[in-house]
């Protein structure tokens, strides 16, 4: 295994008028490639903030993230966009799909600026939809799909990039138990294909799907318990 992320002393605060809300305090975290890491903690503990930093969605305030040997604090805008576009697949709790596009078009949309040929794009879209078990739903639009199917489209969209890592922020939070298990199974299956996954949850159900678990509380990581895979 090689080092995917090396995070040291991450601190992050949101500014609310004159107040500062501390969301992360002194977070150190290493992630190896191939891991399926679960970050578990209650609502408001800092999970989204941490994942947003890892996914280059929020800028670093204090501390450092080294991603595949590259320092996030030293990236140009161009390098930052390239990492977002090629290396990191982000999955949001609320799916964030385009309602007017079909499943296949949603997946293809983010490939459009990757410089791939049309046939390579089509192949990646078909393979990604197949990998998440909805190869036969490619023509459907999100309003015609269930929550679980929509989340599968979102996973396929991330997967089609062939990213170094998939970051999933509470991917099952708006799903029922059965559908949550199905989605966690899909994410787990990615691991056998060598895709690294970093996922957050407040649901203990997710624990049995991780190769390693770290707990977060009040913006601080608690020393780790092992995963079960
Ligand atoms: N945009 C924001 N503005 C102000 N405070 C925020 C914002 N987003 C999150 N917070 C606060 O930062 C802390 C961590 O939030 P968050 O990372 O969203 O936690 P989680 O994802 O674990 O629920 C919480 O106290 C939350 O209220
Ligand atoms: Mg959150």
Task: Give the pLDDT of residue 223.
Answer: 66
Backbone angles phi, psi at 60, to 5 degrees: -65, 140
d(CA 122, CA 8): 40
Tell the residue nearest (CA) to atom 20 of ligand 1: 44
55 within a domain of the structure (yes/no):
no
Task: Give the pLDDT of residue 229.
Answer: 45
- b/e map 60-74, b = 16+ CB within 10 Å: beebebbbeeeebee
134 within a domain of the structure (yes/no):
yes
97 within a domain of the structure (yes/no):
yes
Which stretches within the chain are classed as H helix? 47-54, 77-82, 103-109, 118-131, 147-159, 177-192
Residues with CB under 6 A from ligand 1: 14, 16, 21, 23, 41, 43-49
Pocket test for ligand 1, best of 11, 14, 199 (most atoms within 8 A of CB): 14
Q: How far is the first Cα of the chain from the last one, in angstroms, to the nearest whole number?
A: 16
> Residue 58: nearest ligand to its CA?
1
Give the tokens for residue 4.
């995917």
Task: Give the pLDDT of residue 137.
Answer: 96
81 within a domain of the structure (yes/no):
yes
Q: Which long-range contacts (CB under 8 A, 24 or more apart) does 53-59 make?
A: 53/7, 53/10, 53/12, 53/24, 54/5, 54/7, 54/88, 54/165, 54/167, 54/198, 55/84, 55/88, 55/90, 55/167, 56/80, 56/83, 56/84, 56/88, 57/90, 58/12
Pocket test for ligand 1, best of 44, 172, 218 (most atoms within 8 A of CB): 44
Pocket test for ligand 1, best of 49, 94, 168, 201 (most atoms within 8 A of CB): 49
Low-confidence ranges of the chain (pLDDT < 50): 225-229
> What is the distance in A from the centroid of ligand 2 to the CA of 169?
7
Tell the residue nearest (CA) to atom 5 of ligand 1: 14
70 within a domain of the structure (yes/no):
no
- Name the burial class of residue 112, with classes exposed (0-12), middle (13-18) and buried (19+) by CB atoms within 10 angstroms of its CB: exposed
In ligand 1, the atom with minimum distance to the C-alpha of 219 is 14
> What is the distance in A from the centroid of ligand 2 to the CA of 49?
7
> Residue 47: nearest ligand to its CA?
1
Q: What is the CATH number of the domain that holds 125?
A: 3.40.50.300
Task: Give the pLDDT of residue 1.
Answer: 60
3 within a domain of the structure (yes/no):
no
88 within a domain of the structure (yes/no):
yes
Number of separate domains in the chain: 1
Task: Give the pLDDT of residue 227.
Answer: 46
127 within a domain of the structure (yes/no):
yes
For residue 147, the enclosing domain spans 35-48+77-226
């Amino acid at each position: 295994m090689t080092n995917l992320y090396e995070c040291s002393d991450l601190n992050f605060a949101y500014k609310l008028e004159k107040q500062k809300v501390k969301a992360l305090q002194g977070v150190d975290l290493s992630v190896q490639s191939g891991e399926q890491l679960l970050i578990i903690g209650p609502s408001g503990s800092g999970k989204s903030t941490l994942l947003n930093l890892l996914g280059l969605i929020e800028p670093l305030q204090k501390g450092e993230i080294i991603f595949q040997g590259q320092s996030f604090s030293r990236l140009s805008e161009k390098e930052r966009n390239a990492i977002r576009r090629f290396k990191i697949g982000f999955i949001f709790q609320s799916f964030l799909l385009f309602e007017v596009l079909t499943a296949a078009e949603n997946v293809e949309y983010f490939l459009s600026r990757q410089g791939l040929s049309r046939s390579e794009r089509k192949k990646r879209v078909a393979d990604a939809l197949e990998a998440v078990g909805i190869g036969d739903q490619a023509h459907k639009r999100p309003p015609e799909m269930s929550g679980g199917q929509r989340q599968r489209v979102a996973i396929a969209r991330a997967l089609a990039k062939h990213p170094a890592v998939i970051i999933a922020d509470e991917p099952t939070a708006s799903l029922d138990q059965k559908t949550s298990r199905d989605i966690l199974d899909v994410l787990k299956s990615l691991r056998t294909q060598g895709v690294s996954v970093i996922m957050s949850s407040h649901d203990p159900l997710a624990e049995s799907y991780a190769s390693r678990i770290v707990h977060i509380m009040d913006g601080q990581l608690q020393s780790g318990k092992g995963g079960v895979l």
